[in-house]
Chain A
Amino acid sequence: MKIKIRDCRNTLLLLMLPLLTGCGNQWGWYVVNPSTEQGRGNLKFLIGGLGNTILLSVCALLISVVLGLLVALPGLSENRWLRWFNRVYVELVRAVPLLVLLLWVYYGLPIAAGISINVFWAGVIALALSDSAFEAEIFRAGIQSIAKGQTEAARTIGLNYRDTMRFVILPQAIRRILPPLGNQLVYMLKISSLVSIIGMQELTRRANELVVTEYRPLEIYTILVIEYLILILIVSQGVRWLERKMGSDERG
């Protein structure tokens, strides 16, 4: 998951190469030429999906983090039924392809539950559900990495389960959990492109719609690739920064 800025710059240059050398009339960059009104409009339309891509991913991540924690805790219990619940949840949710889950939540859930769900929330729910199984595993590993003596010490000074988690275990586990959580955000930003299939106006959907009206898939999808690249690059740099900060914060 580690992307070096230099690698990405090289990739970008490679992508630009045909553009710079000019490949005759195969290219039609006028569709996204910022100096023309049409190009400007198209670019604005494409980039206009960015907000939804980010909002969708962040909402889904927040929900999946909470869900993941709620699923991870029973997995650490001494009660076998609670552990069993954790196993079944993780295995089942991991087994369903995101695209299938997405279609089911958008088209199936409203009928099954008798509720109406808009495209955005259908996307958030599907993304969050599918990601929650992975979050649960991340949390479980992070919490298990904290020495057992910490729980024992907390118990002997009278802390109950909730306070032990809240004041002793989670604050320590979170340092180890945050970096993989950051990676999940990167993953979420990419995988959210699937939500275009149900009509969510995010980056990918915008590109698809523009291709239909402009008949310029090569140029428009190239822009789409660049949009994702820039977005992911910025976020992964943020994750790396977070990793360093957390690492240096470890005391003793």
Chain B
Amino acid sequence: MSETNQTVAAIEMVDVCKWFGDFQALKDVNLRVDTSEKVVICGPSGSGKSTAIRCINRLERHESGQISVDGINLTDDKSSVAAIRAEVGMVFQQFNLFPHLTVIENLTLGPIRARGMSESAARNLAESYLERVRIPEQAEKYPGQLSGGQQQRVAIARSLCMEPKILLFDEPTSALDPEMIAEVLEVMAELADSGMTMIVVTHEMGFARKVADTMVFMDHGRVVESAPPEQFFSNPRTDRCQEFLSQILSH
């Protein structure tokens, strides 16, 4: 639509609004993510952080405002949705692995069906990503036979198999037992180092401090604060954010 001559953002959300019935989940959300930037979104539950990232790949439809990914404007047009989904991978809180398929089948389904890759090429690709999330030996198992941490790493590998430019993480460690959180965060930190553009919704503030380029705080459907982590943690501007941080960091 409105092409400007500045560099194209990886993700740009302008005045995005979203309602669930009478409840307004997103209120004029503005967010810009540059290529290779890592953004961590935090905020109390019900603040709209998950909804915001789910709008980016059209798991939720935004009612007004504009979303563009890599210059592609997200509209009701199916081809724009497909084009954006081809660039954006997502990792869910509940992993959402396909329980009737083996790990390797989970990984190769997308490349084979959506990208028309040959079975052997897809398998090679999948094996290389399994290696990267450090569970190559689990390839022939079913998701139900793996631990939560392993399942989430498989889910990350599954997204990577589509070779996305951007990865969205929707509370990736919230469903995990404490001792498994580290192994997942480690994989995510490595991904961040490799230059992947990432938006991570999480309460893991240690991870955020280490990895984030930008911290975003949301409350009641609005972006309340957006700042580099040093500034965000040491000197939050708003009371609401201060209060939230003191609650979450006191544990």
On A, residues with C-beta under 8 Å from B are 147, 149-150, 152-160, 163, 167-168, 171-172, 251-252
Contacts and interface: CB of A to CB of B under 8 A. Distances in A.
Contacts of A156: 57, 59, 85, 88-90, 159
B38 interface: no
B143 A252 contact: yes
B109 A157 contact: yes
Nearest to A171: B100
Q: Top 10 nearest A-B pairs by Cβ distance? A: A252-B144, A158-B114, A157-B110, A153-B96, A149-B96, A156-B90, A251-B142, A252-B99, A163-B113, A251-B144
Contacts of B162: 157-158
B158 A251 contact: no
Query: Which of B58, B94, B100, B161 lies at the interface centre, i.e. has the most chain A CB atoms within 10 A of its CB?
Result: B100
B145 interface: yes
B53 to A, nearest CB: 11
A173 B18 CA distance: 32
Interface in B81-136: 82, 85-86, 88-90, 92, 94, 96-100, 109-110, 113-115
Given A163-B114, A252-B142, A158 B96 contact: no
Contacts of B96: 147, 149-150, 152-153
B129 to A, nearest CB: 13
A252 B145 contact: yes
A142 to B, nearest CB: 14
A153 B82 CA distance: 14
Interface of B: 57-59, 82, 85-86, 88-90, 92, 94, 96-100, 109-110, 113-115, 142-145, 155, 158-159, 161-162
A157 B57 contact: no
A172 to B, nearest CB: 5
B113 A251 contact: no
A101 to B, nearest CB: 37
Nearest to B168: A156
A157 B99 contact: no
Contacts of A172: 98-100
Given A167-B113, A171-B100, A157 B94 contact: no
Query: Which of A150, A153, A252 lies at the interface centre, i.e. has the most chain B CB atoms within 10 A of its CB?
Result: A153
Contacts of B143: 251-252
A153 B86 CA distance: 13
Nearest to B97: A153
A158 B85 contact: yes
A150 to B, nearest CB: 6
Contact of B59 (A152, A167, A171): A152
7 contacts: A152-B92, A153-B90, A155-B58, A157-B89, A157-B114, A163-B113, A168-B109
B110 A159 contact: yes
Nearest to B85: A158
B46 to A, nearest CB: 19
Contacts of A171: 100
B98 A168 contact: yes
Nearest to B82: A158
Contacts of A154: 98
B59 A155 contact: yes
B109 A159 contact: yes
A152 B88 CA distance: 13
B159 A157 contact: yes
Nearest to A152: B59
Nearest to B146: A252
A193 B144 CA distance: 46
Nearest to A168: B98
A251 B140 CA distance: 13
Contacts of A147: 94, 96
